[in-house]
Structure 1
């Protein structure tokens, strides 16, 4: 038989949930008892207790204990403003409802700025909800803010001294492991191209893929992914995405064996320099070296291009030039990786080489002030097509409707209705319905027990003694036992709090049950009306738009490089839609899905990212207008790849399983010239990019349950599955 201690350690590793519940319990009870029994102010006592609950239980603040403490202290002026607005607008039902809608939307929407803002949203909502109900008492505003301030100061101190959580390992540790694994693979590949065996590369690749897999946002603890609007997080996300893309290309080269390629010696020298630069980047991430510099990889790229220019490949089959083109792609992406790490370090970065017509470039954020980056993120998602906008509007509507109904029907303790919505409403109607039953059952049980205690009429000191015990168990019950237990114990806790604030009888428990039923009903109805599919429906649309824009990137890039056409807006548009698609995918990952879908979303999005990244390098580095003699086959090849992107995009937009799984036509059999001189290398660069995109799209369907036939195939499937979070 499993002991309670073993069960607890298994379900709560490190006792993180228990420690957090204990901290909040101590702070909430201390603030409540001091204000209620020492200062004799019930209003102040309620705000001291619920302020601790808002920031300690409803809020999920990531980071180290010191960073969480700073975040809590920064909430003091924000909470004071919200409490003031709620108090001053409570005089009128229409004003309170309008304020609830506006603030409900704003508080939820600003979560697009990063994980810390997302984690604070639910708790911050409560700071307006609590005072926006009658009685209208502006004279109590000072005491309310004082009670909240007491909770903030005590909670910030408790984060530092009361059973503080272990500081999570920094994201840069995972990034260092992935970059180090990539460097080893690059070095082993260079050795293989120099005539060595491929055994070392084959041995290193699985561990490197494991390290890259650990960078996926879906594998990180909540709030640990670099997802804020800051320069540093933008750069970290770019570095992680580039590392994964580089590793995928290394695997492509591992499967390429052409030792007779004319530019193989130059490509091998480039790979050695690239491996050295990547190893220097990994050393800096580990804290063992200086900030890496782009000069070395830029010089290696120039040397490689010069060596290719001095070795005309006339008469050679185009496929013989493939290894050099892949190596060039590795070098360009390595320069991107090093530039991103320089942004992380706050070091100077080279000027943006993106042509003005194709801007903003990959590092548009490098020289922007932090406030401008946050403002850009807010403007970018201020569209009904953003899942962040949809979620904020859904929650604001539910809270406003609840506030209106609570006022129209004069529900006793009506703020419980809105609190229920905060805890029950989820991004999909299915998830909301799944939470409904345990919430109602738990609340009913808790209300019956609370009513029994109130009918018996136990002394007030009994409530004071039981409150911290029930708080500790109740706050830990949610993560450990589920929402039903959490609602039952929370009902008991709230009943005991209000029994100490004012005279109460069994009708208090009845009001709690009625309010939870009303709040749950509103949550279900709004969830069914407003974007009921959550991230699933929007992900289909956003990914379809991203791939359709990627098709435009393919066509435009070939016209620019081959014909010398002027770049239009295909690249900037694809970057924007790529970021919205990534946001939809992040929400999709946070939801429960009973069965796997037909689409491998990670592989689908990485196909779009490959299109954008490859096009950036080609437009920036390839001489334009030098391939006019082979415009015909190039246009046919580009049309074939773009049509494949559009085919998948149309199937996703229509959510047509048959169209997605239908076999596609084989690529066109094209005749390529062999007498273009050194321009054959540029033709090879374009062809490698197009062929890679065609291969990427071949992996957008979810992998079958059967095991791949070979280790190489298994590796390619895994590499297709480490793409989430790659920046657009």
Structure 2
């Protein structure tokens, strides 16, 4: 028993088997209700096997109880629409689209989609028997209640490490790096060594937030403001860490305003540490006013020193400090949204005070486009299920719901993934059907079937995750035979029907997979990311134009924010698929676009417009260089080819006689240089020497 509890697949298999068999036996033999028994069993299969429910045992139990009314609706619709093939198929198309498309609200809804589909599929086949609806609903209710109780008391799963705790680790690591930077700038000779020692662990903590390092169901990707803010905070923490690495290599000798910059970074590090403590429940969340005051003090101290005649490179350290301070203020604001605290309303945090229903509606409307991977996936599944329902009805396939069940378990987001799942599904089904036929031909006593059911179901539920899908399919076929043998007299043709239905479902799934967006997340990821990078180029040009010439804004930031969300959704889907080595670091690519957007937002918020007109020509040249790099990267991503590393930045004659506007010029230059650095990380560059890793994505 201890061995079983230590292994999640075995533990879950045992829990599902006990609950499913208990519900089935109570309904079939205790209550003598054959119409109720399959719903008690398949209700557990739908929510305990096909569904993924995240959280602690208590949270999983509450989720099951919360979806119970939805289960009633789906079983009722399936029962009533089974009056004809065409009404059942129409309902299958509508629900086949609506249920998975609801996944735009977050991966936890995606985890429930397959199970919800099954609860409509099971009753939407003949016989049309509305009188049996109360027993069907009772069976599903019993399944949900037993499964919820089992989540709490029968070998409960371990509670996963919360995302906010992992984020707390990353923010604390960033705070330590910033503290080392402040000490380094304040003259502590050990500061640089401390920073070098801290950066590897900080990079690992940041990597732990990568979507590829997290189960899909644990990613903060829902439409709610808490998950939006958590995701934004993770991106901000990565940006700050990337800047900390840049500062390790920055030559601060003779830099102007180093003492004031060190004080700003010291306050910034303290705020980041307080934020990390709050994420772990060890303290109060700091207010953005503290770091805003530190930023104002730094700007005031900077204004007191005339930079005329100073080498422009000696002004960059202060601009680095300002960007770190601004991003840390954003980080604190995002964590305040997570905690439900008020923040200053801005375009970036438009969602902070919005009601939940509006955020969900906004997310649904945003993805109601053929360019959304959620829309594509929902439509291809709806078409496949509706076609399968029509075909099963027209051909009068026995136990036709197996055709649809095959599709929801076999159809993947790409044609390649579907083909890879096809062979083990068919091999397992054929072998399982042979075994089931042998059992049924033997004509054993029904008591033998009842005794064998728990054992076969336990092994089958555990074999899939541990030994592969072929084992799971084969033993599930035997399980189904044992179930139906206890509900009505059957013969070996039940196994034959199982093979035929699975084959039909597989053919439909493969054909739909070939003709409807066959590349899955990969194809849309290239397009969406290319659009996002192109937006980055437009953001660079617009920002420089506004700050240098007081030019009009043309909505580049708005478009970039929209395309950023579509690219993020495509990347999330891409992470659920199997791929060979990627031609580029997708995470680093998205970070480059995020840096363009967030840096532009900060500059446009605090930099006076039109003050840099005397150096507009040189700024245009710098902007053209950076925007050109973004456009080259966008073209390479869209063409799915590896981009060659770009050349060095152009040598430009920067002015030294703009007075205090030189500080604003330095801020803009640091942002542009940082974007070049981000793009270099995407395509590769000569490695730096030193103790600091450069993989920050």
Counterpart in the other structure of 2:505? 519
> Which residue does 2:183 correspond to in 1?
191
Alignment counterpart, residue 459 of structure 2, candidates 454, 459, 473: 473
Partner in structure 1 of residue 239 of structure 2: 245
CA contact (8 A) 2:645 2:684 kept: no
Deviates most, 549-558 or 165-174: 165-174
Q: 1:40 aligns with which of 28, 32, 47?
A: 32
Q: How does 1:372-411 map to 2 (within 5 A)?
A: 372-411=358-397
Q: Say whether residues 1:623 and 2:611 are aligned partners.
A: no
1:125-136 correspondence to structure 2 within 5 Å: 125-136=117-128
Contact 1:343 1:366 in 2 (8 A): yes
Partner-residue secondary structure (3-state), 2:649: coil
Residue in 2 that maps onto 1:537: 523
Match of 1:715 in 2: 693
Mapped contact 2:230–2:334 kept (Cα < 8 A): yes
Among 343, 349, 354, which residue is 2:343 paired with? 349
**Residue 607 (structure 1) aligns with:** 592
- In the alignment, which residue of structure 1 is the partner of 2:129? 137
2:268 corresponds in structure 1 to: 274
Equivalent of 2:149 in 154, 157, 166: 157
Q: Hey, what's the Cα distance between the residues in 1 that align with 2:302 and 2:187?
A: 20
Partner of residue 353 from structure 2, selected from 356, 367, 375: 367
Q: Over aligned residues, Cα RMSD in angstroms? A: 1.5
Match of 1:690 among 667, 672, 689: 672
Name the counterpart of 1:292: 286
Query: What is the deviation of 1:59?
Result: 0.3
Instruction: State the Cα distance separating 1:482 from its structure 2 match.
Output: 0.7
Structure 2: distance between partners of 1:302 and 1:709: 35
Mapped pair 1:677 → 2:677? no
Correspondence 1:333 to 2:327: yes
Q: Tell me the TM-score normalised to structure 2 length.
A: 0.98
Q: Deviations over 1:92-148 (max 9, x none)?
A: 111111110110000011011112201100000001100111111111111111111
Q: Distance in 1 between matches of 2:368 and 2:516?
A: 17
Equivalent residue for 2:168, pick from 173, 176, 180: 176
Q: How has the CA–CA distance of structure 1 residues 703 and 388 changed in structure 2, closer, same or farther, with 3 Å as cutoff?
A: farther
Cα distance, 1:709 vs structure 2: 6.1
Q: Could you tell me how far apart the structure 2 residues matched to 1:161 and 1:94 are?
A: 44
Deviates more, 1:595-604 or 1:412-421: 595-604
Cα distance in 2, alignment partners of residues 137 and 163 from structure 1: 38
How many residues are matched? 695
Superposition map of 1:554-565 within 5 A: 554-565=540-551
Kept in 2: contact 1:62–1:222 (CA 8 A)? no
Deviation at 1:651, TM superposition (A): 2.1
Question: For 1:587 and 1:288, how far apart are their aligned partners in 2?
Answer: 35
Distance change (3 Å), C-alpha of 1:179 and 1:663: closer
- Alignment-derived partner of residue 201 in structure 1: 195
Contact 1:242/1:333 (8 A) holds in 2: yes
Residues 654-687 of structure 1 deviation map (CA, whole Å, 9 limit, x = unaligned): 33x2xx4345454332211100001001001111
| Alpha-carbon distance in structure 2 between the residues aligned to 1:200 and 1:531 | 50
Q: 1:569 to 1:294 in 2, by over 3 A?
A: same
Would the aligned equivalents of 2:645 and 2:685 in 1 still touch at CA under 8 Å? Answer: no
Asked whether 1:459 is paired with 2:441, we answer no
1:357 alignment partner in structure 2: none
Deviates more, 1:371-380 or 1:457-466: 371-380
| Deviation of the 1:542 alpha carbon | 0.5
Question: Counterparts of 2:233 and 2:463 in 1: how far apart (Å)?
Answer: 39
Matched, 1:122 2:114: yes
SS at match of 2:378: helix
1:638-659: CA deviation from partner (whole Å, max 9, x where unpaired)? 111111111111222233x2xx
Tell me what 1:636 maps to. Answer: 621
Q: In 2, are the aligned partners of 1:98 and 1:400 still within 8 Å (CA)? A: yes
Q: CA deviation at 1:466?
A: 0.4
Per-residue CA deviation, residues 684-726 of structure 1 (Å, 9 max, x unaligned), is 111111111112112213689xxx56345x612x11x2xxxxx
Q: CA deviation at 1:13?
A: 8.8
String of CA shifts for 1:9-55, please: whole Å, max 9, x gaps: 7xx99311111111111111111111111211111111111111100
Q: How is 1:11-90 mapped onto 2 (pairs within 5 angstroms)?
A: 14-90=6-82
Matched, 1:579 2:558: no
- Which residue number in structure 2 is paired with residue 700 of structure 1? 682
Task: For 1:662 and 1:246, locate their aligned partners in 2 and report how far apart those are by CA, in whole Å.
Answer: 27
Shift of 1:386: 0.8
With structure 1 as the length reference, what TM-score do the two structures score?
0.93
CA distance in 1, matches of 2:493, 2:611: 84
